[in-house]
Chains A and B, each alone.
Chain A
């Protein structure tokens, strides 16, 4: 079964840091690019960051550029999001999501980040 499981969310004060993790299973992790997508309470989806399957290209939304860092560990089939200088407006459910030319075809269940 193809699966993405996020962890690492929680409550953090403004200005603090948090590291999200995503464990991938059921597919060849190195064949796929990956994303982080978030959704603030009662709001729409916001794309956050993207990393290619080789790690050669990394993109960020302007709202997180300079504060968030995406990375992957192919040895452990893991995706990460290091979040620094967190703001109240970063409060959201964060989804780990798989992509490869077909949009995002697999989503995790999400992990909740609360900045307060």
Chain B
């Protein structure tokens, strides 16, 4: 199975900061990569799909980039509502298994 590795596992930042979370795949997943935000006790929310496409209704301060094995999620100016846990997921059909990264917890500094 394709392994997805996120870094960092925890990130401390302040409101207004620009932050980047990285996701690395153990083999190429082309652009079949999504990013999710999850808050405690809630279902995840889709932010980015196909590596760089912003899901409808998601603020434009969120952006995604990358292809192949290296991907990143950037939040351009952190807002109080953005403190949450973020997950990447590869959904390359040919892999026959759609693995998630281990998550990155974004905390208030």
Contact = CB atoms under 8 A, between A and B. Distances in A.
B98 A44 contact: no
Interface in B33-58: 34, 36, 38, 43-46, 48-50, 53, 55
Contact of B1 (A57, A62, A99, A109): A62
A68 interface: no
B102 A102 contact: no
A59 B98 CA distance: 9
Interface residues of B, number: 26
B89 A103 contact: yes
A42 to B, nearest CB: 10
Nearest to A99: B91
B96 interface: yes
Interface size for chain A: under 10, 10 to 19, 20 to 34, or 35 or more residues? 20 to 34
A88 B34 CA distance: 30
Contacts of B7: none
B8 to A, nearest CB: 14
A47 B43 contact: no
A105 interface: yes
Nearest to A105: B46
Contact of B38 (A45, A57, A61, A103): A45
Interface of B: 1, 34, 36, 38, 43-46, 48-50, 53, 55, 85, 87, 89, 91, 93, 96-103
24 contacts: A37-B100, A44-B102, A45-B87, A45-B89, A45-B100, A45-B103, A47-B97, A47-B99, A50-B98, A59-B96, A59-B97, A61-B1, A101-B49, A101-B50, A102-B50, A102-B55, A103-B48, A103-B91, A104-B34, A104-B36, A104-B44, A104-B46, A107-B44, A107-B45
Ranked nearest first, the 10 interchain pairs of A and B with the lowest CB-CB distance are: A103-B34, A107-B43, A102-B49, A44-B103, A103-B49, A45-B100, A59-B96, A47-B98, A105-B46, A44-B102
